[in-house]
A and B are shown apart, each in its own frame.
Chain A
């Protein structure tokens, strides 16, 4: 330990090279420039645990980094812990989806107004989209980029994963962004290829699709490509072994899933009054038989795989698999908006609906605008497309609902080390000698301004969740981490606008990971695994009675501590 404090400016580095991020390529096969960049990233702690099959195999020491503070953006982001935290949403539909209606510009402009710095347009994969929409949406995205210069707007699509649910797939902007997405959709989309059925062949097609994306990056057709599975537990059809297979197919591409799905207004009493997130299903012939009924509902607005302490997400983290969570809008048509699809539309012919027109108030719609309720905060080194993708890949990400908090800096560190910039941030790996005293510091900027429901959220409690790292799972369908539990809860009582906590792990001898979660404390229940694991976790949401503004949570991604 005792590594120094780095002062680098990523923006001043030579052109970014994706090979440096792909840890499946050994140093010996990299160009000297890539080796240099990889070394730099490692030294700066920016490689995080992402892009590696397992954190156990990640060399180097993750450390803090001070990013540049000058940037052209104007979002709600702010600098904290040396990073520029950029709020975003990777799951947004437009008039190029058969079940949506807004222009790209409508979504982008609203998301921007609601404080987002980056967004991904993800229209559904379909025959019409593969043929028409994937190309036609691009000029709309390009012109919106021109118009909203302080917004990073990615083009992606919502992939029908063969044999499984949906996923966000997106690429770095560039001359091949459309070509790569179109090729991908035509070759690997479950609907286009009629590959939705739950068969081994279709599961293999999903893996091949993720590998295809990684190849496009290595061939330098695009500068980056990412995959995040959407609403993973909604219908019980993303089995644990499929999730592991996606991750292992290319860990530089497949980096996570939605910790919280969109459609957060869908359970509003008096509104849609259905399941929060539209999570209202039951087991089917296509679902994984091991999943319990509880998995078909959200818990405090979060997907059961993430909300369960000692559940599926933790089982991946306990293996040492870097796997990150996000929170998005899945906006199709938004609660209390006044718009409707353009008249005389012919979606199949045109690949889009005509521009929306004024319509009656959407009192039963289940969605919020991007940024209105759900945010994915990425610790970036600059305001740039690549920096957002790098931050997502590194897991330097936390998510919140309803603006519960303003900022979060979590660090695993050698006890007592308080030098500025020291400590390992979210998504990182802290490597220490056995017997070293390690502690976790949590610094929170509390909400000081009203959220988009016009009240100032009050954070009541912060939980520290930790679990042993036990290596690769022998059963690829396991979705439990029996050694993970809430190890500490801090009550928040602050009038200063900030809250800081320290939790000591004492002298560490065995590998473990730690993550944090916080709540407004308005609604909680023992976790699915029981009181011993999670005495006051999120409660299962009630179909028809889930007001999302009265049940707010934030979640941070994990940090690993590996003594050796």
Chain B
């Protein structure tokens, strides 16, 4: 029950447009181990990415200020994370061990992920292999940190979120 007590939830944002930029920003903050970090999509006052942090007791870091106009969605993101109803986790217990090919059973055992789901269907079987592509981004839904997967080559599963989507034609956006 790591999260029940002694965890402080903070929402912060620089108004990034993309998850990747927001994740990079958080990585530059040099957060200590044990911090769980999620991205959230906020629609107001304009579409942007918010990051929520779960800071264990004793973690004392100076965090960047969030602009006034983004503070409300940032607070909402922190609340969603605290309630385990929202947030796409990119820093979480065990994430560094989720590389290569793992069985669903191992993936659950090695990390904070508590459920592996197949898109459009039920939970993945424990022996099914998951091609992680070294990029695993589960989401908090209904109190569980859930990884949504879909079919991958060789009868395996893979996280639905693909690590490096081909940039749009022209790289205009």
Contacts and interface: CB of A to CB of B under 8 A. Distances in A.
Asked if A pairs with B, the answer is yes
A65 interface: no
Contact of B168 (A235, A269, A294, A543): A235
B51 interface: no
Interface in A169-212: 190-191, 196-199
Given A280-B165, A282-B160, A286-B47, A544 B152 contact: yes
Contacts of A275: 162, 165-166
Contacts of A544: 152-153, 158
Interface stretch (B23-31, B38-46, B77-85, B104-112): B38-46
A282 B148 CA distance: 12
B48 interface: yes
Contacts of A126: 170, 172
B153 A284 contact: no
B171 interface: yes
Interface string A197-229: 111000000000000000000000000000000
B162 A543 contact: yes
A285 B41 contact: yes
Interface string A366-400: 10000000000000000000000000000000000
Contacts of A283: 41
Contact of A99 (B17, B119, B170): B170
A250 interface: no
B4 interface: no
Contacts of B150: 293, 297, 540, 542-543
Contacts of A281: 162, 165
Contact of A196 (B148, B165, B173): B173
Interface string B36-78: 0000011100111100000000000000000000000000000
Contacts of A124: 169-170, 172
B63 to A, nearest CB: 21
A97 B170 contact: yes
B120 interface: yes
A278 interface: yes
A280 B17 contact: no
A285 B17 CA distance: 6
A441 interface: no
A483 B42 CA distance: 34
B91 to A, nearest CB: 18
A160 B172 contact: yes
B47 A293 contact: no
B144 interface: no
Contacts of B119: 293-294, 540
A237 to B, nearest CB: 9
A545 interface: yes
B123 interface: no
A166 interface: yes
A314 interface: no
A182 B79 CA distance: 49
A266 interface: yes
Contact of B152 (A125, A332, A366, A542): A542
Q: Indicate the member of A97, A166, A284 with the most B CB atoms within 10 Å.
A: A284
Contacts of B18: 284-285
Contacts of B160: 282, 293
Interface in A90-116: 93, 97-99
A117 interface: no
B151 interface: yes
Nearest to A273: B153
Contacts of B172: 124-126, 160, 190-191, 196
Interface in A325-343: 330, 332
Interface residues of B, number: 30
A450 interface: no
B169 A332 contact: yes
A345 to B, nearest CB: 16
Nearest to B162: A280
Contacts of A125: 170, 172
Interface in B101-152: 119-120, 148, 150-152
B151 to A, nearest CB: 5
A74 interface: no
A285 B173 contact: no
A439 interface: no
Contacts of B173: 160, 191, 196
Nearest to B148: A293
Contact of A166 (B19, B151, B169): B169
Contact of A284 (B41, B148, B154, B162): B41
A266 B165 CA distance: 12
A332 B119 CA distance: 32
A289 interface: yes
Nearest to A330: B169
Contact of B17 (A158, A199, A286): A286
A494 B75 CA distance: 65
A274 interface: yes
A98 B151 CA distance: 33
A414 to B, nearest CB: 42
Contact of A285 (B47, B120, B152): B47
A198 B153 CA distance: 35
Interface string A423-443: 000000000000000000000
B46 A266 contact: no
A421 B24 CA distance: 63
Contacts of A198: 46-47
Interface string B11-22: 000000111000
B158 A543 contact: yes
22 contacts: A99-B169, A124-B172, A125-B172, A126-B172, A160-B173, A166-B169, A191-B173, A197-B47, A234-B168, A235-B168, A275-B166, A284-B17, A284-B18, A285-B17, A285-B41, A285-B42, A286-B17, A366-B166, A542-B151, A542-B153, A544-B152, A545-B152
Interface of B: 17-19, 41-43, 46-49, 119-120, 148, 150-154, 158, 160-162, 165-166, 168-173
Given A191-B172, A275-B166, A284-B19, 12 more contacts: A97-B170, A124-B169, A197-B46, A198-B47, A280-B162, A282-B160, A293-B148, A293-B160, A297-B150, A542-B153, A543-B162, A545-B153
Interface of A: 93, 97-99, 124-126, 158, 160, 166, 190-191, 196-199, 234-235, 266, 269, 273-275, 278, 280-286, 289, 293-294, 297, 330, 332, 366, 528, 540, 542-545
Q: Sorted from nearest, which 9 A-B pairs have the closest CB atoms?
A: A124-B170, A545-B153, A285-B47, A280-B162, A278-B166, A191-B172, A282-B161, A544-B153, A542-B151
